[in-house]
């Protein structure tokens, strides 16, 4: 899981601060105002920071004109190299001092801190992987950050697991055998999805227009934006890191189908394939429909 890099990190790239005071090669600070110990009236002192007039003259010219040898204001050799305004996608060591350019986000994968291009789908990334960032949308990432595409099928006999479930209206995919065997209790009226902490996460129905249904894409329990939806990629129950999230493949406390009448917890809904009877959250609606719910 990629994380957005905390603000205030000091870059390792060596970008430093630019100070407003320049120093001579001998280490002394240049004087200000009129040059002391200059030449005759009408002549600027050699090496002065600005041309100064002689007696009766002005800062622009002395009585006899500007003295020879005066240097323009500012002198030479004081120019400094400006730091880059922002870092491009793929560049390392982003921070408040060296922020990412527009269209990129400063993230860390646990090893490096770098700018990664923002995205909305894998089609926008050369790796084909658009991974969620904790609290900051999604960015293009190495393919290892995205799950491999599921094998498509027409019927269960096409799959080595003997389990083919519809992913959407046009595509069916091979699923673990437990997904087909994990038939929720049809005898339980009012089957719901419940978090490990007891939070109600929606009615367990495949009806996409049910007000409180887990499969309603614009409802409180099926939307990708709702805090009580397992499909919210940055929510407590849908992120890849949440201890009670259906999408945390290491969680031992994911949401589960729950029968209010008996108080029995049934199938866990989780990406953790090691949990007995677990239903993949991406296949939950298909499993509910397969079981007439």
How does residue 95 score in pLDDT terms, banded at 50, 70 and 90?
Answer: confident
Nearest CA among 211, 194, 185 for reference residue 293: 185
Higher pLDDT among residues 278 and 16, named by residue: 278
Q: Which residues pair with 118 in a beta bridge?
A: 139
Please tell me the number of Cα atoms within 13 Å of 133 on its side-chain side.
25
Q: Residue 185 has which token pair? A: 């209790």
Please tell me the number of Cα atoms within 13 Å of 43 on its side-chain side.
9
Q: What is the pLDDT of residue 159?
A: 84
pLDDT tens digits for 22-68?
333 444 444 444 334 444 444 444 444 443 444 444 434 334 444 44
- Mean pLDDT, the chain, whole residue set: 74
How does residue 133 score in pLDDT terms, banded at 50, 70 and 90?
Answer: confident
How does residue 256 score in pLDDT terms, banded at 50, 70 and 90?
Answer: very high
Q: Are 285 and 168 in contact (CB under 8 A)?
A: no
Pairing of the two strands 2-4 and 130-134: parallel
Nearest CA among 208, 188, 207, 210 for reference residue 256: 188
Higher pLDDT among residues 71 and 94, named by residue: 94
Query: Quick one: what percent of the chain has pLDDT higher than 70?
Result: 67
Q: Residue 149: which residues within 8 A CB-CB, separation 6 or more?
A: none
Is residue 81 over pLDDT 60? no
Is residue 245 over pLDDT 70? yes
């Amino acid at each position: 899981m990629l994380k957005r890099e905390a603000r205030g990190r000091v870059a390792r790239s060596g970008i430093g601060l630019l100070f407003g005071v320049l120093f001579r090669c001998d280490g002394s600070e240049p004087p200000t105002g009129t040059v002391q110990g200059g030449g005759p009236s009408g002549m600027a002192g050699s090496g002065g920071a600005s041309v100064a007039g002689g007696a009766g003259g002005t800062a622009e010219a002395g009585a006899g004109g500007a003295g020879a040898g005066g240097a323009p204001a500012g002198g030479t050799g004081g120019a400094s190299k400006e730091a880059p305004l922002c870092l491009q996608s793929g560049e390392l060591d982003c921070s408040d001092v060296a922020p990412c350019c527009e269209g990129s986000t400063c993230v860390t994968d646990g090893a490096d801190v770098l700018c990664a291009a923002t995205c909305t789908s894998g089609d926008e990334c050369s790796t084909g992987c658009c991974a969620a960032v904790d609290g900051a949308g999604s960015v293009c990432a190495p393919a290892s950050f995205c799950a491999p595409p599921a094998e498509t099928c027409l019927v269960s006999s096409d799959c080595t697991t003997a389990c083919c479930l519809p992913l959407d209206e046009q595509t069916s995919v091979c699923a673990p055998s437990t997904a087909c065997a994990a038939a929720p209790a049809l005898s339980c009226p009012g089957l719901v999805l419940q978090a490990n902490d007891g939070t109600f996460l929606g009615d367990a129905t495949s009806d996409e227009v049910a007000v409180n249904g887990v499969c309603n894409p614009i409802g409180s329990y099926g939307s990708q934006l709702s805090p009580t939806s397992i499909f919210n990629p940055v929510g407590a129950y849908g992120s890849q890191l949440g201890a009670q999230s259906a999408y945390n493949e290491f969680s031992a406390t994911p949401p589960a189908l729950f029968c209010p009448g008996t108080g029995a917890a049934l199938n866990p809904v989780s990406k953790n394939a090691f949990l007995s009877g677990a239903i993949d959250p991406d296949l939950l609606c298909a499993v509910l429909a397969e079981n007439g719910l």
